[in-house]
Structure 1
Amino acid sequence: MKFITQNKDVAKLFLPRNKDCHKGTFGTLAIVGGCEKYAGAPFLATLGASALRVGTGIIKIAVPRFLVSALQHRVTECTIFPLDDKDGYICLNVKQFEQLAQKTTAIICGMGIGNTEQTQKTVRFLIDNANCPLLLDADALNAISKDVNILNNHKQQIIITPHIGEMARLTGLDVQYIKQNKEMVATQFAQKHNLVVHLKDSNSITTDGQNVAINQSGTPAMAKGGSGDLLAGIIGGLLARGISPFDATFAGAYIAGKAAEKAVEKSNEYSLLPSDTANEVACVVSEIIKNG
């Protein structure tokens, strides 16, 4: 099946809630990221808020221990989970990650985590041991590009969200070739590694190897650092609710694009911030429900 994502495709994910529910009903998302070079504490908080705005019940932001104090002044809706660190980067402590995974229904990893040997160990551990859907973005993708075969060991469903350059590193293919053959490259990679690929571009491609969704929402104003991280947070929020990886991914892309379109109406294509987009997510979800 191949389609261009429309409002009706996303609205089915936002049905009326049962009155007999609680925060645990809607899942728990763990966000693993941050390092000394890319601290971004305020933006990690924004990611968590965006996930809450698409319906997740609980958010855990897992960061190097040295970042905890900075986050405590920014985070009001999410819990903070400190991780061991070394030289400003997350250092894999298996017991900590096992504790983080308890009652977690989705994990996103890679935003500002840094491209180090410890990152590679952390990403490999999550691929091999995660007990819930796992989304890999940014430096998590750089980590697996050194040995993409580690993707073949996953026990749970995986989503990767590369831009064209990251896809080139993952596949060894030329950037221009990928840009001219986005659907084919993404589909073949998804089939080979049994996962969902969201290939980011002006018209993004989401595929699980069988189905293809084309996203046409968005604006050139999104060509700015942090937009992809925000997308990961939205997709992760939907994943944590128990929505299938393919549906969560194409819906997340649509919501992020529509939120940016709405935000740029109040600003311009040069000045838009990813946090401006995040602030419009709730309004976009309301419109999706209303027009579903």
Structure 2
Amino acid sequence: MSGNRSEEPQVVLRPLYRAKQVRELDRRTIAAGIEGFALMQRAATAAWQSLKSRWPGVKRITVLCGGGNNGGDGHVLAALASVAGVEVQRITLKPISALEGDAARAAEMATAAGVGLEPWSKGIAFSGEVVVDALLGTGLGGEVRGEFRNAIEAVNACGLPVLAIDIPSGLAADTGAELGMAVRATRTVTFIGDKIGLHTGRAPALTGEVHFRALGVDARSHADLAPAAELLDQDLLRVWLPPRSRDAHKGAMGHVLVLGGAPGFGGAALLASEAAARLGAGKVSLATAPEHVTACLTYRPEVMVHGLRGAAELGDLPGKADVIVIGPGLGQDAWGQGMLQAALAESGPLVVDADGLNLLASHFSGQRRDDWILTPHPGEAGRLLGLSAAEVEADRPAAVRELQQRYGGVAILKGAGSLVAGPDGMAVCPYGNPGMASGGMGDVLTGILGSLLAQGLPLETAARLGVMIHALAADMAVRDAGERGLLAADLASYARVIVNPGFEPGFHSLAGGHDAHKTR
């Protein structure tokens, strides 16, 4: 890929930690001389400020407090709100007399500030305009039960906006799984170290806006606490996708070969091919079943399409390509099996998706490479790992780590908060939307990845950027026309805008079709 990256500023990604690591950061901060209750006050102050900024005219709030330090944060926030003249309804799920340590001090602080106290009872009416969730923190180890479950159900049913302190109660901080029942927050304020479980799995449906407050703690300075992952940032695009050299030519922009489109399944491979071309690959070839050739040439004549009755007719096509994309519309019959076998025999990088992954699990087990990107959704990941899709979703970070360790290269676990695992660690994509829940989206991603690899990006960098570009293109499309009805074919032209980050057009795509533009 052309362009000089050496002079570009580096983008520092936000580290994401597991709950145990954040507790260790908390312990070290206290050991360094900051009193635990002072740290609790910092957290509650940050949460209160966040509440005021999000709901500046609030007059009444309801604070639900559990029994640990998360509940303590709630008690202190209640005191701060009361002092500020806000009417506070404080509901506790653990008797004040049973609280210990900093949580007990926090409850006393709220009482001293004149905040009333109501014990939780099923059917209690919330009098606030905003509900503060301080029920359960990051230490939750099993499913929510009993009165806490009843309280969470009441919060979710009340119809009021919700501020979650540190984490929505019932959400697993390490995995993003919902532990039986979790609060659906409007905003979550989290402290000291951001948690990986706030950004993947069920989390995007439960956290609302995630605001991170370090409380004066520099987690990065603790080098022995390696982050569990990093949160991707679209600023990476300007670093890795600089303007092209003025003498660039198609031979320097890479050649992508898409293997897919078994008889009756031509659309997926064409979606991947178009995405590869729109992302800037110099040449894109498509090897597909003969009956799809006419449609491919009509829809996208820039793609060099070859109608093949089987892998024996591939000839020297694989050897001419810089990267092979295999899987979209591949099928699992003899046609697809032969194509995958031919791809695996090549020494260049691969992007494997869809039935390519299913065939890896069923017919080509034991394969491992350092030069491929695997892109499973939870069902495909389960087949590769011998797990159910539900087991994969129960611990997405563990699943994607196991995929990468077992199969090599880079593994992408698609879904809300897509995860990218490679030799350099794990990254989480914070972009994307529910409009992407439609057929063909994964095919577009494979084409994007293949194009970036063909243009010379390193494997792991291409995977991280590709996942971001894919999600950001969907976000841009949704801003134009909404989530429902978003089609995979809509994404390629939006992605083209995104991969030209220095370009400021007077128009953007695309309300009127995949090649249409409208004025701003």
- Using structure 2 for the length normalisation, give the TM-score: 0.51
- Which whole-Å CA distance do the structure 2 matches of 1:158 and 1:63 have between them? 21
Larger radius of gyration: 2
The aligned residue for residue 7 of structure 1 is 234
Match of 1:23 among 239, 250, 254: 250
The C-alpha deviation readout for 1:2-61, integer Å capped at 9, x for no partner, is 311112223222122222321010100011111223222xx5444323222322111111
Where in structure 1 do 4 or more consecutive aligned residues deviate above 6 Å? none
For residue 251 of structure 1, what is the aligned residue in structure 2?
A: 465
CA distance in 2, matches of 1:109, 1:171: 20
CA distance in 2, matches of 1:56, 1:267: 28
What is the rounded CA distance, in whole Å, between the counterparts of 1:116 and 1:79 in structure 2?
Answer: 24
1:123 matches 2:340: yes
Q: Determine helix, strand or coil for the equivalent of 1:162.
A: coil
Q: Give the Cα–Cα distance (whole angstroms) in 1 for the partners of residues 432 and 279 of structure 2.
A: 18
Q: CA deviation at 1:121?
A: 3.1
Q: Is the 8 A contact 1:37 1:114 kept in 2?
A: no
Q: 1:62 maps to what in 2?
A: 287
AA matched with 1:4: L
Q: Report what 1:82 is aligned to.
A: 307
Aligned to 2:248, the other structure's residue is in SS state: coil
Q: Does 1:184 align with 2:398?
A: yes
Map of 1:127-138 to 2, 5 A cutoff? Answer: 127=344, 129-138=345-354
CA distance in 2, matches of 1:125, 1:271: 37
Q: Which residue identity lines up with residue 203 of structure 1 in the other structure?
A: G
Whole-angstrom distance in 2 between the partners of 1:18 and 1:51: 20
| Corresponding residue of 2:356 | 140
Q: Distance in 2 between matches of 1:276 and 1:177?
A: 32
The amino acid that maps onto 2:280 is G
Q: Which has the higher helix share?
A: 1
Matches within 5 A, 1:1-292: 2-40=229-267, 44-83=269-308, 85=309, 91-93=310-312, 96-127=313-344, 129-147=345-363, 149-152=365-368, 154=369, 157-286=371-500, 288-289=501-502
- The one-letter amino acid of 1:77's match is E
Letter in 2 for 1:239: L
Distance in 2, matches of 1:187 and 1:210, equals 11
Q: CA deviation at 1:97?
A: 3.1
* SS at structure 2 position matched to 1:76: coil
Is 1:105–1:132's contact at 8 Å kept on the other side of the alignment?
A: yes
Q: Distance in 2 between matches of 1:33 and 1:11?
A: 32
| 3-state SS in 2 of match to 1:81 | strand
8 Å CA contact 1:34, 1:111 repeated in 2: yes
Q: For residues 49-96 of structure 1, what are the alpha-carbon distances to aligned partners after superposition, in whole Å with 9 as ceiling and x for unaligned?
A: 32223221111111112221222212222211222x2xxxxx221xx4
CA distance in 2, matches of 1:179, 1:248: 24
Q: Distance in 2 between matches of 1:276 and 1:20?
A: 30
Q: Is the 8 A contact 1:101 1:131 kept in 2?
A: no
User: Deviation digits for residues 152-188 of structure 1, max 9, x if unmatched?
Assistant: 3x4x611110000111111111322211211122112
Q: Percent identity?
A: 28
Equivalent residues of 1:144, 1:170 under 8 A apart:
yes
Cα pair 1:14 1:289 within 8 Å, conserved: no
Relative contact order (alpha carbons < 8 A, sep ≥ 6): 1 or 2 greater? 1
1:133 Cα deviation after fit: 0.6
> Is the contact between residue 276 and residue 448 of structure 2 (CA under 8 Å) also seen in structure 1?
yes
Task: Give the 3-state SS of the residue equivalent to 1:260 in structure 2.
Answer: helix
Q: Distance in 2 between matches of 1:195 and 1:147?
A: 20
CA distance in structure 2 between the aligned counterparts of 1:281 and 1:34, rounded to whole angstroms: 23
How far 1:98 moved relative to its partner? 4.4
- Aligned-pair CA distance for 1:238: 0.3
1: CA distance between counterparts of 2:270 and 2:334?
26
Which digits, 9 at most, give the CA deviation of each residue in 1:98-137, with x for residues without a partner? 411233111101111112133223213311x213110110
CA distance in 2, matches of 1:47, 1:101: 17
SS for the counterpart of 2:306 is strand
Structure 2 residue matching 1:144: 3-state secondary structure: helix
| Structure 1 Cα separation of the partners of residues 449 and 469 of structure 2 | 9
How big is the alpha-carbon RMSD for the aligned residues of Structure 1 and Structure 2? 1.9
Partner of 1:88 in structure 2? Answer: none
Deviates more, 1:23-32 or 1:140-149: 140-149
